[in-house]
Amino acid sequence: MSNESHPEAAGAKVPLLQQLSSFSNIYWIANWMELVERFAYYGVRVVLPVFMVAAFQEGGPEFDHKQKGMLFAIWALVQSFVPIFTGGFADRYGYKINIVISTVLKIIGYLVMGYSIFMAESLAGMSLAEARPDGADWTYTIFFVGAMFLALGTAIFKPGLQGLIAHQMPKKFASVGWAMFYQMVNIGAFIGPMLAGYLRVLDWTYVFLACAAGIALNFFPLLLFKEPDHHGETNKEGVFRVLLNSVRGLLEPRLFFFTISFAGFWLMFYQLFDILPNFIDDWIDSRAVANALKESVGGTPLLFILGGVVFLVGGLIFLAKKANNRPMRNLTRSIWLGAIALPFAAHYLIQSLGGSSLALTIPTVHGGNLTQEWVINFNAFLISLFAFAMGYLTGKAKSLHAIILGVLVSAGAIYALGLSMNGWWIIAMIGIFSFGEMTASPTKMRYLASIAPPGKEGLYMGYVNFTVGIGWSIGSIIAGELYQEGGDKVVLARRYLVDKAGQTQETIDNLSKAEVLPFFEQTLNVDAWGLRDMLWANYEPYAMWEIFTWIGLGSMIAIIIYNWVTSAASKNPSHSFNHKGYLFVRFALAPIAFAFWWVAWYKLTVQDKELKEVLAILVQAVMFSMLFLVSLSTKAGEKLPGQGEESTTP
């Protein structure tokens, strides 16, 4: 039978503010911690694609896109697959200890990444520009280690925090509860890149330092509540049994095929953060957007913005209490009014004393372009405004139907990214993508949380990350190779100079990365915008967006088939999926594992790649092979760990 007939349907009849006011204090504390963690994470995450390939002279490590893609691929595997195991530990040993361990790891990661160039130059005793030709450059290794600390910390944080939220979530209000969680995610994800867009113009290292300081704030909320009792069955199993059951639980047929079907969406989704920053930095003319922002909000006192934020938060709390017939006390109301008035009063006091308070400035690069962090941040801005409202609306639809619609909308926006170099057009497509994301992404958590047995919330929140990891990892490899060969502006400029401008290969190879574009402009007598137009017309760097669109649409078709099969199985207890689903999982795992092994063999032998260049592919080959071997021990009718008493199709 379907879960949708009672809990969420009943919740949808309750007014929105009354639903929000029903959540516990621990739920709101956990959401605040998620906001802080996402502030730090996305503050760095949105900067990384451009920072990693930035030239030495620009303060970057000058990796290429294939190196960047491989790093992101391994990052994806660690961040997304480790929660499959740590989710079980969160249920077994406690949510708070998970959060403490993850925060320490993330601080280490931010600092190592931020100082990777300094450490590499100290080890080599010379600058990177001198050390790399001599083979004495350790930057990539050091940066990789820092990234893995951050990925591991995030992997441990996710199931602990999300499991805590699921533990506190009334199931009848799950759609709004998860939408509010997703909104908090994106408020943090909006503030982080806003700050990073400023700091990167000053010094790349400042971004990493600010994010390390930000995540350290998460130690304090842990003092405000006790570890909640874990309802449902108490997990008394040992470490090895927790690990084994976490793996075997993933083989539950509905769970397994959902994660596989949804992976294509995440492959497409992560290009918004992995390759779109480079695409914007290389090709998009956002000068008009920057000028419009300067005219409209530039110069706004930051204290006014702070006052507005406090007003919105206080207003929401007031309305929520009123909707739940719990009026705000006079003292509390006075404190909130004072907190709202304080920033405005401080601004005017500073002015009356002859000073000037800090004002909002619009960061620009490359001759007036808006920084890519601010362009992409339109995604987080929209979601921070509309996430819970979208959750309220999607709560009226079946989870899988909402996911299918969201994937379709997102795929259309991804395709349209390649239709224009105009900054306003790119922002519009990011906006459309955001509404597709709001329809599909938080719904996956609602779907899995609704089928998670009591006491297994952390485990199932870990499984959420499996589908993300598959798509993100494969997409990072594909995107890195596509952009290195057909999208990077410096690479294409070198090619044009040799193929069409009559320059010798030796002359072009001797140019440093920072020298290529000025040499191009001088040789062909064009400015930066003319250079861009010539390369865009000759090499079509936008073609990659069509590839990602087809992958997203393929994922949508897979989810439609999944929905059709599981719906039929829910209505018919004798359906083959109910009795032979474990065999279907086994038959699916074999070709998936074989495909990864074949690709790894082809790259190592035919393309003569180094082992480190196919590491992410080998890891996935091993992982799916292990899942296949574990599936061989699963017998017909056996209840898998985490599997409920009956199958549902929310």
In order, the DSSP letters of 410-434 are HHHHHHHGGG--BHHHHHHHHHHHH
- Topology of the domain comprising 3-227+235-298+361-486+540-631: Growth Hormone; Chain: A; (1.20.1250)
CA dihedral (604, 608, 613, 617) in degrees, to 10, reads -20
Give the residues of the chain that fall short of pLDDT 50.
1-11, 232-234, 637, 640-650
In the prediction, which pLDDT does 233 show? Answer: 46
In the prediction, which pLDDT does 642 show? Answer: 43
Q: Which residue has the tokens 């020298």?
A: 515
Nearest to 318 by CA among 310, 327, 309: 327
Residue pair 46/278 in contact by the 8 Å Cβ criterion: no
SS3 category, 369? strand
In whole angstroms, how far apart are CA 231 and each of 172, 228, 453, 507, 535? Answer: 17, 9, 10, 69, 60
Which tens digits make up the pLDDT trace of 121-156? 999 888 888 888 888 889 999 999 999 999 999 888
In the prediction, which pLDDT does 649 show? Answer: 38
| Phi, psi angles (nearest 5°) of residue 572 | -125, 100
Q: Is this structure's pTM higher than 0.85?
A: no
In the prediction, which pLDDT does 646 show? Answer: 36
Report angle CA 612, 617, 619 to the nearest 5 degrees.
85
What is the sign, positive or negative, of the torsion defined by CA atoms of 627, 630, 635, 639?
negative
In the prediction, which pLDDT does 465 show? Answer: 76
In the prediction, which pLDDT does 347 show? Answer: 63
Domain residue extents for the chain: 3-227+235-298+361-486+540-631, 299-360
Residues near 113 by beta carbon (within 8 Å), at least 6 away in sequence = 44, 143, 146, 147, 150, 208
